[in-house]
Structure 1
Amino acid sequence: MGPAHSVNSTVRAMAVIIPSFLALSVGYALYAVTDYTLMHRYYREYDMASQAVGLTVIYSVIAALMLVTYIRLLCTIYTNPGVVPLGPKYARDFYENNMVKQRKGNAHDAQRSLCEEIRAGFGKPPSAGMKKGDAAKSKTPESNGEHVDLESGLADSVPYGGVGSQTPAGPDPRLDPNSPGLEHSYTKDVFECTADGRPVWCMPCGTWKPDRAHHCSEINRCVYKMDHYCPWVGGIVSETTFKYFLQFTLYATIFCGLTIGTTGNALWQSRQRHGGTDTRVIVALALGSVLGLFSFSMFATCLNFVLQNLTTVESHQLKNRVRMMAVRIKLNADPVPGSYNTITYPLSVNGSPPPPQYGAVQIPALPAKTVGSDATTATREATGTFAPESENVEVPDPFQVNRNARAARRRATQTALDAFDAFDARDLLAHRTFAIVPVPKGMNVWDLGWRGNWISVMGTNVFDWLLPIRGSPCSDHTSTESRYSLSPAFQQYCAKMNLPSVHEMEERHRG
């Protein structure tokens, strides 16, 4: 994974100039504090040798930690910025060929209004959330199923083939049941989705967004757990770099605080002893104050987000965005009208066999057995008697009939079992049903409590907290439950909805 550069040439230039300015500022502060202020002023002129040596050691250690975390941050930004892989080229070309050229006026307002009505009518019949006139308008050639907007729950996107966009020149890649990358979401037990049960689709990247991913317009890529684009560090701050960014701002704040305290005291000593000032000390004090204020504000903001398990983007969306979560439930469980809908993966394809059903095998009924000729059977049915009309009719042995019936039943059962076993264990597990659960506004489904949130980002021991050695534990997405750990509040919310437990299906399948 290479570096993610800004698409704006001005921002790219600032991403080079600002880090260079920071390096020069830190270099000048090191000279002004350690060499000039501590050694020249404190040690020689003011006869404060012990204070000078002690402050020099502390100042050097903090400067070294700040430098190491900054280098680690820059290296990670350029080698592993945390961007989501792009989708297939045909999906990206579809977006490029059908890019919206008009995003103003009534077209965008009409689309936003329609999306709000879809939200308001979620869980109701299709006509419940619309007015009478809107229902007629919805039956347009653009919404007949050929070019359906799968992000209808997001008002900030214009659908392909919808109001305000050009007519698509090819099949919509979002409607492909075998769309590459879709399995990365439904193989988890819980994932973020839209109102139709599919993951969120990113049109520019041509791929399905993973949980907590956000499309950064600055680099034109989706980013895992994106926080912000920071020209001060020359790149994107995401789940792979957030920990190092917090450590860097911490050491930068301490470094600037030591600079302010040391130079401020030296300036006061100079005025008391000589009644004058020193330009070099004043410049170092000014730089420490400006950079210290910036670094402290960034550290306080990042620390607050860590303790809440939020990002800058999520903090703006938490109170206003309608979030939907797909929660795995019992296979083929019926939806609950008014509460949630369901969707089963893999998505069906025309002509494909239905997904396997768990439970008892359905055995076909045996054909009726006849005794004697057809005419004799018809006469018996009409008269209600089964006595033979003549002695020449041979009546089969009733025990032989029963044996034949049992053999036929065994053959039918074995045929059904063979068809059922055609789906191996992997195929059975691949079919999953999800409840589309609307999350109340303001609920953070990733909030694990301040302790769990801290561990998910910073690690489990003090060395992980202070040293930029290992990445954040939240960067590990191997769990089958979800990409990120779910909050107890969301789990309790799902329990109150009485979702059909998936464990019942699994236990029955094992039995």
Structure 2
Amino acid sequence: MTVVESDLADLAKPGTVITTAGTANAATQTTEDEIITRPRSARTQSDYPHPLNASIEPPASPQFSHSSIWSFPWSDEMLETSTSNRRSTRWIARGLPLLGLALVAYAIYNAIVYCCVQDFMQKRGKTAVGVVLIALCSIFLLLMVATYIRCYVTIQYNPGFVPWTAEREALEQERNQRASNGAEVETRSWAPRDDEPDSPGLEAFYSKDIFVCELDGLPKWCSECRNWKPDRAHHSTEYNYCVYKMDHVCPWMGGIISETSFNFFIQFCFYCACFCIIIISTNGYLTSLRLQEDKGIDARLIVGLALGGLFGLFTITMTYTALRFAFQNITNVDLYRKSQTFRLAVRIPTDTPPNDRFNTVTYPLERPGEGPRAPDAAHTSGMTQANGAASARASAMAARDQQARRTFAILQAEPGENPWHLGYLQNFKSVMGDSIIEWLLPIRHSPCSRHDSMVSDYQFGPLVEELKRRYGLEGIDPEKRAAAMTSN
């Protein structure tokens, strides 16, 4: 089933399964015993702009007709994980930090006590060499520990989870109650999209000027969290939450790396790599001296070289990968979806004429069978009986309410285009901060985690203006147009 067909199936009536073939469609009534494995939409066939038994072409401009988004399906959900696997992941995430602490303790003994103090300074009299190596090791150790603690505490107390709705909280309490009573608890509970025009949380999207949307202009929906999914959020089956700008689950850090901890994770990987380089250099230098003296290689030096080399290679690779993600403004999740296509709901003036190159959606949404939500009629009836001052006030209120309506054009990017690419330097600053001090020390969270802009959750790059140009919307400012309409 292609993405278009799955979208059509989502628009079927509850209790009805629509199957799309090349020639005709068959609708079959489900029974109570039938298991429905994917969420259904509450929309009916009449709510959809195209008949369900018709062949539908992509609503975008012709240059996107061969996009891979129309040829194979992909899910915005992470792969399902069983309850036992989730528990195993969490226990591993709790245990590995203790193992890491033990390895760091041995590295300190190996490099500082055994190599520098006992050998370089006491046996060989190389005090300067020992002091320099101890100083370098201590500096990077201090920075490594500081960034690790900052990252670990952030993951535990501010992991970047999207809050559950009240309905989802009640469901979780019911599950916990059933589990405590020894009753069977279902592992997953899919919920269809909430198509109510006044759906909780929907206003947070259309109050901004740009957001990521589906074909019909509504935001993405998480069937497990039963909530609208913010831009760049992905559902983590390990923790059963949607996560803002989720990157990956890191057992060594004790949890999930997201927008709140990614900059601290980069700093930790960098300083850990530097610490490993010092460990390798110290053990390697002492090994070379012992070989020159024909004393053989000490087992402790072999262990130090092995651990330093193994974790040094790992942390250098992680530092390179994390920095690449920061400079490209992507995450580990985005990397596995290189061919994904984004649809953006871009605000346009409400009086923009219809265009066959793109679809539009107007918020607040209308209920099926109702007209636009404008209080003009109510104000008009009042104005016929009021004096001139009351009429002016009513007219101003009507204009204000009309201005609250927002129309969005649904613009589709090409596969692989990143709408959040700001340029390599700005991408880096959006993660690490604006100053060099913030780049080096774990002081503040990433600027991209603030979400205080009224334009969008995350800053969009030049691709938005390019999309406007492609669809003939360049130079259109909805704020200026709305202000002009209000003044008139």
- The normalised TM-score by structure 2 is 0.73
* Match of residue 370 from structure 1: none
Q: 1:299 aligns with which of 302, 306, 319?
A: 319
Alpha carbons of structure 1 residues 363 and 77: separation in structure 2 relative to 1, 3 Å: closer
* Match of residue 231 from structure 1: 251
* Match of residue 26 from structure 1: 104
Q: 1:247 aligns with which of 263, 267, 272?
A: 267
- The separation in 1 between residues aligned to 2:122 and 2:171, in whole angstroms, is 70
Any idea what the Cα deviations from partners look like across 1:433-491, whole Å, max 9, x if unmatched?
00000111121100011110111011111110111011111111111111111111332
Any idea what the Cα deviations from partners look like across 1:181-210, whole Å, max 9, x if unmatched?
111111110000000000000010010011
Q: 1:195 aligns with which of 215, 222, 225?
A: 215
- The separation in 1 between residues aligned to 2:275 and 2:94, in whole angstroms, is 22
* Match of residue 458 from structure 1: 432
Name the SS of the counterpart of 2:429 in structure 1: helix
Structure 2 residue runs without a partner (length 5+): 1-82, 176-188
Q: In structure 2, give the amino acid aligned to 1:354.
A: P
**Contact 1:331 1:432 survives alignment (8 Å):** yes
Q: 1:503 aligns with which of 467, 479, 483?
A: 479
Q: Return the offset for 1:48.
A: 1.5
**Contact 1:7 1:220 survives alignment (8 Å):** no
- The separation in 2 between residues aligned to 1:357 and 1:502, in whole angstroms, is 21
Name the SS of the counterpart of 1:317 in structure 2: coil
- The separation in 2 between residues aligned to 1:245 and 1:224, in whole angstroms, is 16
Structure 1 residue runs without a partner (length 5+): 98-158, 161-167, 365-407
Alpha carbons of structure 1 residues 333 and 353: separation in structure 2 relative to 1, 3 Å: same
Alpha carbons of structure 1 residues 412 and 354: separation in structure 2 relative to 1, 3 Å: farther
| 1:56-455 equivalences in 2 (<5 Å) | 56-89=134-167, 172=192, 174-318=194-338, 320-337=339-356, 339-349=357-367, 354-356=372-374, 419-423=394-398, 425=400, 427-455=401-429
Larger Rg belongs to? 1
- The separation in 1 between residues aligned to 2:464 and 2:168, in whole angstroms, is 37
Q: Return the offset for 1:354.
A: 2.8
* Match of residue 78 from structure 2: none
* Match of residue 21 from structure 2: none
**Contact 1:6 1:219 survives alignment (8 Å):** no
**Contact 2:341 2:417 survives alignment (8 Å):** no
Q: Return the offset for 1:20.
A: 1.0
Q: Return the offset for 1:418.
A: 5.5
Q: In structure 2, give the amino acid aligned to 1:334.
A: P
- The separation in 2 between residues aligned to 1:417 and 1:340, in whole angstroms, is 37
Which stretches of structure 1, 4 residues or more, deviate above 4 A after TM superposition? 90-94, 350-353, 408-419
* Match of residue 20 from structure 2: none
Alpha carbons of structure 1 residues 242 and 173: separation in structure 2 relative to 1, 3 Å: same
- The separation in 2 between residues aligned to 1:8 and 1:410, in whole angstroms, is 66
**Contact 1:343 1:435 survives alignment (8 Å):** yes
Q: Return the offset for 1:44.
A: 2.0
Q: Share of identical aligned residues, percent?
A: 38
**Contact 2:411 2:467 survives alignment (8 Å):** no
**Contact 1:334 1:342 survives alignment (8 Å):** no
Count residues with an aligned counterpart.
Answer: 388
- The separation in 2 between residues aligned to 1:208 and 1:241, in whole angstroms, is 23
Q: In structure 1, give the amino acid aligned to 2:166.
A: P
* Match of residue 368 from structure 1: none
Alpha carbons of structure 1 residues 88 and 235: separation in structure 2 relative to 1, 3 Å: same
- The separation in 1 between residues aligned to 2:469 and 2:331, in whole angstroms, is 27
Alpha carbons of structure 1 residues 260 and 279: separation in structure 2 relative to 1, 3 Å: same
- The separation in 1 between residues aligned to 2:229 and 2:391, in whole angstroms, is 40
**Contact 1:173 1:179 survives alignment (8 Å):** no
Q: In structure 1, give the amino acid aligned to 2:420.
A: W
- The separation in 1 between residues aligned to 2:371 and 2:215, in whole angstroms, is 26
Q: In structure 2, give the amino acid aligned to 1:421.
A: A
Name the SS of the counterpart of 2:260 in structure 1: coil
2:71 corresponds to 1:52: no
Q: Return the offset for 1:505.
A: 1.9
Alpha carbons of structure 1 residues 486 and 274: separation in structure 2 relative to 1, 3 Å: same
**Contact 1:306 1:453 survives alignment (8 Å):** yes
- The normalised TM-score by structure 1 is 0.70
Alpha carbons of structure 1 residues 225 and 363: separation in structure 2 relative to 1, 3 Å: closer
- The separation in 1 between residues aligned to 2:169 and 2:342, in whole angstroms, is 25
Any idea what the Cα deviations from partners look like across 1:311-355, whole Å, max 9, x if unmatched?
01112223x212100000001433311x21000011113686634
**Contact 2:211 2:346 survives alignment (8 Å):** yes
Q: In structure 1, give the amino acid aligned to 2:361.
A: I
Q: Return the offset for 1:422.
A: 3.7
- The separation in 1 between residues aligned to 2:390 and 2:311, in whole angstroms, is 77
**Contact 1:92 1:205 survives alignment (8 Å):** no
Q: Return the offset for 1:275.
A: 2.7
**Contact 2:403 2:482 survives alignment (8 Å):** no
**Contact 1:246 1:303 survives alignment (8 Å):** yes
- The separation in 1 between residues aligned to 2:91 and 2:385, in whole angstroms, is 77
- The separation in 2 between residues aligned to 1:325 and 1:502, in whole angstroms, is 16
Q: In structure 2, give the amino acid aligned to 1:505.
A: R
